[in-house]
Structure 1
Amino acid sequence: MRLTPKQQAFCDYYIEKGNATEAAKKAGYSEKTAKVIGTENLSKPYLQEYIQKRLEEISSERIADAEEVLMYLTKVIRREELENVVVTVKSSRSWYDDKGKKNTEEVEEPQIVQIPSRLSDSNKAAELLGKRHMMWTEKKEVSITVPTFVDDIPVTEDE
């Protein structure tokens, strides 16, 4: 079923606010009926379906999937991932005043510089990828002799 613009606005505001009454007011329903309309809208299956679909879309956009994580770790290992670092750059400026005296002024300016990821970050990423590919699992061979019990004692009539 196709949603009306008001219903779609209600659903979007409901996702944002989490309050049906507030969402109904923001979507353009009257103040007097907002509470009833909000409850009514949430009971409609096609609106519930729309809200659920939108929540899944939002969730999938925000959360990195496994492939994205593996690609990021690989970039860190190869030191392709750049890190922003603030450095202080010192510079000096000289000039002569009206009397011919030389004046020098030193200025410190913060600048953002991009550098490759640190070696410790690379090592940690390599460790995580290694664990993912089970490269560090220890394989131990264990041989166990299992005793076999044979019930070859005849049963006597006394027992």
Structure 2
Amino acid sequence: MTEKQKLFCDEYLKDLNGTRAYRAIYKNIKTDNAAGVRANKLLKKKDIAEYINKRLEEIHNENTADIQEVMEYLTSVMRGKSLSSVLSLAGDGYQEVIEKEPDEKEKLKAAELLGKRFGMFKDNVDITSNGKTVIVDDIDEG
């Protein structure tokens, strides 16, 4: 892979727009149509596709929370150990940024999400039937 092709790949990874990436790196291209056709050809090359897929996986791993991270975060919110920065009135019209623990509503939501994850809140409705309806008339008429 040439240096320009690598630059094209890195530019392409910004927004996955091959035409824009091609025009940004290859300045001699006059039209979007020509840039799109050439970008498409580049993206079909094996080494370029492998490089882009490898970088996409790295970006995904760096930026995406895994299940353990989500569970740890929800647990810290539920237990009130998580802090968030909020604006608070400081008097005379001034505001300041303070660290705040989760309130009861936030803790409840975190507990609910954790409970759903562990299947604690399933509505089990038994609708088994043999398909026959039986009406029992046991009202005393006298």
- The TM-score with structure 1 as length reference comes to 0.65
Give the residue type in structure 2 aligned to 1:84: S
Residues 1:142 and 1:58: Cα distance change in structure 2 (over 3 Å): same
Compute the displacement of 1:43 (Å).
2.3
Give the residue type in structure 2 aligned to 1:13: E
Deviation track 1:93-148 (CA, whole Å, cap 9, x = no partner) reads xxxxxxxxxxxxxx431111111011111111112112212233467899999xxx
For 1:112, the equivalent position in structure 2 comes to 97
Structure 1 unaligned runs (5+)? 91-106, 146-159
Asked whether 1:123 is paired with 2:124, we answer no
Q: What is the SS of the residue equivalent to 2:93?
A: strand
Q: What percentage of residue pairs aligned between the two structures are identical?
A: 37
Following the alignment from structure 1 to structure 2, what is the Cα–Cα distance between the partners of residues 22 and 141?
57
Compute the displacement of 1:9 (Å).
0.4
1:5-24 matches, within 5 Å, as 5-24=3-22
Following the alignment from structure 2 to structure 1, what is the Cα–Cα distance between the partners of residues 125 and 39?
62
Give the residue type in structure 2 aligned to 1:114: E
Structure with the higher strand share, 1 or 2: 1
> What's the RMSD between the two structures over aligned residues?
3.0
Residues 1:81 and 1:131: Cα distance change in structure 2 (over 3 Å): same
Residues 1:144 and 1:112: Cα distance change in structure 2 (over 3 Å): same
For 1:68, the equivalent position in structure 2 comes to 69
Residues 1:28 and 1:127: Cα distance change in structure 2 (over 3 Å): same
Q: What is the SS of the residue equivalent to 2:68?
A: helix
Following the alignment from structure 2 to structure 1, what is the Cα–Cα distance between the partners of residues 127 and 61?
45
- The TM-score with structure 2 as length reference comes to 0.71
Q: What is the SS of the residue equivalent to 1:134?
A: coil
* Runs of 4+ with >6 A deviation: 138-145
Larger of the two Rg values belongs to structure: 1
For 1:31, the equivalent position in structure 2 comes to 29
Compute the displacement of 1:37 (Å).
4.1
Structure with the higher helix share, 1 or 2: 2
Structure 2 unaligned runs (5+)? 131-142
